[in-house]
Amino acid sequence: MGHRALSLCLTFICLLLSVAGARSQQSDLDGLVDREIPSLVSTYKALHAAPELSHYEEKTSALVAGELRALGYTVTEHVGKYPDHPDWVSYGVVGVLKNGNGPTVYLRTELDALPVEEMTGLPYASKVRTKDDAGRDVGVMHACGHDIHITSFLGTAKMLAELKVEWRGTLVMLAQPAEEAIDGAKAMMDDGLYTRFPRPDYVLALHDVPSVEAGKVGYTPGYAMASSTSVEVTLRGIGGHGSAPQAAKDPIVEAAQFILAIQTIVSRENSPFDPAVVTVGSIHGGTRPNIIPDEVHLQLTIRTYKEEVRQHILAALERMAQGIAAADGIPASRAPIVAASSSEATPSLYNDPQLAGRLAKVFKRALGPENAVEVPPIMASEDFCRFGLDDHQIPVFLFWLGAVDPAKLAESRRTGVPLPGLHSSLWAPVPEPTLRTGVKSMTSAVLDLMKK
Ligand SMILES: [Zn+2]
Ligand SMILES: [Zn+2]
């Protein structure tokens, strides 16, 4: 056998061994996940029955911290601060597992639930009620599936603690509060996340989704979720008697003009190639039929991918509000107030295309080629993008975890009747195989990024 033939032969043997190695690694992981599933399902049901609102994630974060500590992670609690509310406690948790030299990978879960009264009728449905910040009595529910995320996160933390011989580097498990209020990720960054703890090379997260079957994952390279900005608009008029409009300046009519006028921002001022949404989600004004009120209050949400599009929309809202008030003859002292919130705002999510492409291959290997599907971007928002810093300095990747019974999804596609979605009182992810797929996909992703 010549040198060339020998080296070819050796290459072939190496290839066989590495394929066999990858296969046995995969079956090791499958076995470990199978063993863990019963306990993960019961953790999930316990979390589901005990949801906590944004900024109040006390027991949920304590559970996460306790579990990570028991697995050997070095845990820091109460990471985060809310500069506008110095009296608020942050329930952010960071668990670090150092395992030699190698990349630093962050995995993120959210901790919070929503003020939604659960209507699923499931045996483990939440019956929790509490007072919200405005003092209203509200039901509380994990209607966004953050309980699925926490459970997958804890399952992944356990797998990676047990499979330490297969990876090297620094693994950081990050549990963030207040995602639904979109100020939790910022709170953790404002508390020096990347200076107090190692700066990441990659940050990963998953989110359950009603449009993909349980057992599958979906991924979107590049822009995947929109930026979100809440805007408060106060249209001020001059109140008076409903029978004498000539003596008043009616802010209700002004609000009607404003709402119709702003529909042209997206349809007439914005490039059709730049996705954008302007929604008026609430309007309040007046008390009785025969009183013209002094003012009307509106709450809007703006969604875009590009920052310049967001800036254009904010400027157009201001211009239209002022222009309509001037046209209506409202005095300058009663000019409209248009205020974009700085705390209720988050940039768009840009999934690093190279990272997304690399991990899509990993998912196909771990779950089967048909179980990792590319899906289009959406206009919903997440504050996860903050962990990538401005201008996408750190590659981040959030992928979708299918959570719906495949037969139900097929039926919904056939009939066109939508299934309950995220934030619905009827949102009910199938715990298994959703959790199995969550743990398997996330663990495989980390093993690939940190392989020896
Ligand atoms: Zn949500
Ligand atoms: Zn969510």
Residue pLDDT, tens place only, 336-386: 999 999 878 899 999 999 999 999 999 999 999 999 999 999 999 999 999
Q: Which of 214, 219, 210, 218 lies closest to 436 in space, CA to CA?
A: 214
**DSSP 8-class letter at 220:** -
Return the pLDDT at 342: 82
CB 226 within 8 A of CB 131: no
Residue 425 pLDDT exceeds 90: yes
What are the residues facing 232 on neighbouring strands?
A: 299, 339
Q: Which is more confident, 42 or 391? A: 42
Q: How confident is the model at residue 395 (pLDDT cuts 50, 70, 90)?
A: very high
pLDDT digits (tens, 9 = 90+) for 76-94: 999 999 988 999 999 999 9
Ligand found nearest the CA of 110: 2
Residues whose CB is under 5 A from ligand 2 (ion)?
144
Q: What amino acid occupies position 272?
A: P
Tens-place pLDDT, residues 27-40: 689 999 999 999 99
How remote is the CA of residue 208 from the centroid of ligand 1, in Å? 10
Which residue has tokens 């020998």?
6
Q: Say yes or no to pLDDT of 18 above 90.
A: no
Q: What is the pLDDT of residue 15?
A: 52
Could you read off the pLDDT of 61-78 as tens digits, one per residue?
Answer: 999 999 999 999 999 999
pTM recorded for the entire structure: 0.88
- From residue 374, give the alpha-carbon distance in Å to each of 214, 238, 286, 421, 429: 15, 54, 48, 19, 20
Nearest ligand to residue 180 Cα? 1
Q: Is 206 within 8 Å of 320 (Cβ atoms)?
A: no
Which residues make up the environment of ion ligand 1, defined by Cβ < 5 Å?
144
Residues with Cβ within 8 Å of residue 162, at least 6 apart in sequence: 32
8 Å CB contact between 286 and 230: no
Instruction: Output the pLDDT for position 407.
Output: 97
Which-ligand-closest: CA of 400?
A: 2
Residue 9, H or E segment: helix 3-49
What is the pLDDT, as a whole number, of residue 22? 59
d(Cα 153, Cα 133) in Å, to the nearest integer? 29
Residue found under tokens 């509106």: 298
- pLDDT of residue 118 exceeding 60: yes
